[in-house]
Structure 1
Amino acid sequence: MPVTAVTSDPEALTMTLVGEFAAPVDRLWRAFTEPAQLERFWGPPGYPSTFREFDFAPGGRASYVMTSPKGERFGGVWEVVQIDDGSSFTVLDSFADEHGVVNADMPTGRMVFTFEATDAGSRLTSVSHYPSVEALEQVVAMGAVEGSTLAMNQLDTVLQGLREYAQGKGTRTEILTDTHVRITRLIDGPRELVWRAHTEPELMKQWLLGPDGWRMSVCEIDPAVGGRYRYAWEPLEGTEGEPFGFDGETLVSEAPRRSVTTEHMTGTDFPSTTNDLSLYEEDGATLTTTLIEYPDKETRDMVLATGMTDGMEASYARLERELISA
Structure 2
Amino acid sequence: MRTHTLSVLKALSLALFVLLGAGSVSAQTARLTEDERNTIEVFRRASRSIVHIEVRAAMESSFEKHVMEGGTGSGFVLDTEGRILTAFHVIEDKNQIDVILSGGRRLAARLVGTAPRLDIALLQVDAAKEELFPLPLGDSQELEVGQKVIAIGNPMGLHNTLTVGVVSALRRSLEGTPVELQDALIQTDAAINPGSSGGPLLNSAGEVVGINTANVPKAQNVGFAIPIHFARRVVPDLIEMGHPYRPQLGFSGSEITPSIAKLFGLPLESGFLVEEVLPNSPAAYAGLRAGERIVVLSDKPYVLGGDIITAINGEPFTAPSQIAHVLLDSRPGLDLRFTVFREGRTVEVVIPLAKMHMQF
| TM-score for the superposition, normalised by structure 2 | 0.25
Q: Which has the higher contact order (CA 8 A, sep 6+)?
A: 1
Task: Kindly name which structure, 1 or 2, has the bigger radius of gyration based on alpha carbons.
Answer: 2
TM-score, length basis structure 1? 0.27
